[in-house]
Chain A
Amino acid sequence: MPKYLVMVRSTKSQAIHTAGSIEETVCEIAKNLLHFRGPADGLMAIPADTKIATFAALKDEALCSIEVTDKTLATWRKDVFVIEDAINSFQSARDHAETMLDRALADLDEAYESSSGFNDYTPSNDISVYGALDQLGANDLEYNFQQALREMYKFNSLKIVPM
């Protein structure tokens, strides 16, 4: 299983990885798992068994190591974006639901509050939008997926990622 070290590409470096190369994909994986804020081509991947990699490790430049196979590379290209999109869509749907329900419930609260005969009742005291949505058990979706990716790519964080 080929192992790569990933580091920040020097601003002086003109060379970038070939499109579609393993190194390019490794940088995409590293960007994802490191939560690196810059573009993936702001990173550089080097096979771990090369002298450059040893030198980078000695200089404490490597951010992480990642191991890939043909199968896990194919998984990255085929499945990971689809699942991440689905997780993001789910979170968006949940956020939208929270906002919408919160607003509707606030309106109901206000209607009670502004009435003359029923202002001693506040519906939101009995109903929690956030508590209700927490019951879906989907809070750890993103975390669990990230953990699965970390295991699959034998991700090893070596240094704090520069912001």
Chain B
Amino acid sequence: MTKYLVFENQPSSGQVNAPGSREAMASEIADAVSQGRMPPNFYIAHSIDDPKATFESLKELAKFTVEIDDTTAELWVNEIQALVQKAHNVDDAIGEAIGGIYQAMVAYNDAIENSSQFKDLTVLSTKALDRTFEYFEVESAYEVSTLVEEIYQVESIEHHGA
């Protein structure tokens, strides 16, 4: 079992984790737990035994720790990556659904408000739309995120400003 420190990669760092490496995997795992869906190389990971980890720790405190062994690495590649991707697809579908319904709601509300005789009809609440999908989004993403957090013993490190 190897422990990795995951940092936010500075755009000027010029560093990236090698694709397919355990470090890249640790970064993906951290992103899955944070549900941030950050772009590739937003995070950079170093094994805790790597001297770079110590150096990076001094520069900027790590955001997450992630533990990976051969079995969980295989599990990530063979099963969990697909679950994370499918959960992202649900998120994307939610985003598209909200956009389409929101536009249609606004068009309907405008039609009612601009009419001469139908102003008494109830307009649609865009707040209800947000509430509806908030629940859906939380439920679909939560399970995968929790699963990943448990299996890879991900710890989120909170930093308190001076």
Name A residues whose Cβ lies closer than 8 Å to a Cβ of B. 71-72, 74-75, 78-79, 82-83, 85-87, 89-90, 92-94, 96-97, 100-101, 103-105, 107-108, 110-112, 115-118, 121, 123, 126-127, 129, 132-133, 135-138, 141, 144-145, 148, 152
16 further A-B pairs in the complex, CB-CB below 8 A; given A86-B107, A94-B104, A111-B82 = A74-B116, A78-B115, A79-B111, A82-B115, A89-B104, A90-B105, A92-B104, A104-B93, A105-B140, A115-B79, A116-B79, A121-B143, A123-B90, A123-B143, A126-B139, A132-B133
Pair count A-B, CB < 8 A:
133
Name B residues whose Cβ lies closer than 8 Å to a Cβ of A. 75, 79, 82-83, 85-87, 89-90, 92-94, 96-97, 100-101, 103-105, 107-108, 110-112, 114-118, 120-122, 124-125, 128-129, 131-133, 135-136, 139-140, 143, 147
Contact A101 B94 (CB under 8 A): yes
Q: Which residues of B contact A87 (CB under 8 A)?
A: 108
Q: Which of A79, A104, A138 contacts B89 (CB 8 A)?
A: A104
Contact B147 A118 (CB under 8 A): yes
Contact A93 B93 (CB under 8 A): no
| Majority secondary structure, A binding face | helix
Q: Which of A75, A100, A107 contacts B97 (CB 8 A)?
A: A100
Complex CA gap A141/B132 in Å reads 18
Contact B117 A79 (CB under 8 A): yes
Q: Which residues of B contact A127 (CB under 8 A)?
A: 136, 139-140
